[in-house]
Amino acid sequence: MTGYWWSERIGSGYTHGYEIELLFEQRTPFQNMVIFENAQWGKGLILDGIVQVTQGDEFIYHEMMVHVPVLGCENPIRSVLIIGGADGGILREVQRYRQIERIVQVELDRDVLVGCRKYLPEISGNWKDPRLELVIGDGAEYVKRAAEASERFDLIILDSTDPIGPAIVLFEPPFHRNLASCLSKTGVIVRQSGLPVTMPRVMPFIRRRFLDVLPEVKTYLAPMPTYGGEIAFVTASRKEAGDISEPRSDYAGRYYNPEIHRAAFCLPTWWQKLIEDFRDDGQVPIETKTYF
């Protein structure tokens, strides 16, 4: 493969790089989109200079974000709301469950959807699934309207970008209050919560936001090499959802299995210290600096 070297700054004085062949680039109304190919990781998506997904390890992220909450709930998941997820990987994993009757996906940027469908179809689920309602629009506004209309979902998945640019509203208190209002009594919310090694305030900040509106909040992890380390996921629910950390099926994917499910909730000591020491100043954390 011929191309040029591209690097992403992911910490204080730290970058990682890819030799890429540029497949497509576009400035959308919301962000800069790059779709590339790399000899190690296959095709991938970059938004505003941050790698969002690559073929090489996307299955880890998408399987862990979907199967942990679905198989951790005591009651069957029937309805799902996905915020973000333009590459379609979350949709793909959700669609594996026949008992799910309704899927709503809200994506802000139509151009990213179009680009991913054209250049990354290998990642995507079935956009023609009759259970799917695809909404092009603001996720925060959709959740607000759904809360006002007393809509309820058994699973809400927040596959958003990091807390920069148009995604900042998804980290504010009103959004979390509306999320809680949209959650069924036995349902669960899950959101990607950054890499603690380079974004040390994001995961404990999200935990604090959820604890303000829901009583049961848990953190689990997964390795994501193309992101630069272990990524955090945070779940939030009411007590009726049961113990999310306990799998209720022997399902196995490419990465996910019941043993991985349980082990993912075993947090490193320094993650536990981040949670214990966190002091909420009310500001959305947008820094990327190393904890060590």
Position 289 scores a pLDDT of 40
pLDDT at 160: 83
Q: Quick check: 286 pLDDT over 80?
A: no
- The answer to whether residue 288 scores a pLDDT higher than 60 is no
Q: Which residue has better confidence, 92 or 291?
A: 92
pLDDT bracket for residue 127 (50, 70, 90): very high
pLDDT at 292 (0 to 100): 38
Question: Which ranges in the chain are annotated with CATH 3.40.50.150?
Answer: 58-277
- Give the model's pLDDT for residue 164: 66
Is 1 a residue whose pLDDT tops 80?
no
Least confident of 15-24, 61-70, 101-110: 15-24
Percent above pLDDT 70 for the chain: 95
Global confidence as pTM: 0.94
Q: Residues of 145-184 as b/e, b for ≥16 C-beta within 10 angstroms?
A: ebbeeebbbbbbbbbbbbbbebbbbbbeeebbbbbbbbbb
What percent of the chain shows pLDDT beyond 90?
85
What is the overall mean pLDDT for the chain? 93
Question: Looking at residue 112, what is its pLDDT?
Answer: 98
- Under 8 Å CB-to-CB from 9, ≥6 apart: which residues? 15, 49, 288
Whether the Cβ atoms of residue 83 and residue 65 lie closer than 8 Å to each other = no
Q: Which residues are catalytic?
A: 159
4-54: CATH, from 2.40.30.10, 3.40.50.300, 3.30.1780.10, 2.30.140.10: 2.30.140.10
14-27 and 32-38 beta bridge pairing? antiparallel
The model's pLDDT over 21-56, given as tens digits with 9 standing for 90+, comes to 999 999 999 999 999 999 999 999 999 999 999 999
Q: Where in the chain is the domain with CATH 2.30.140.10?
A: 4-54
CATH superfamily of 58-277: Vaccinia Virus protein VP39 (3.40.50.150)
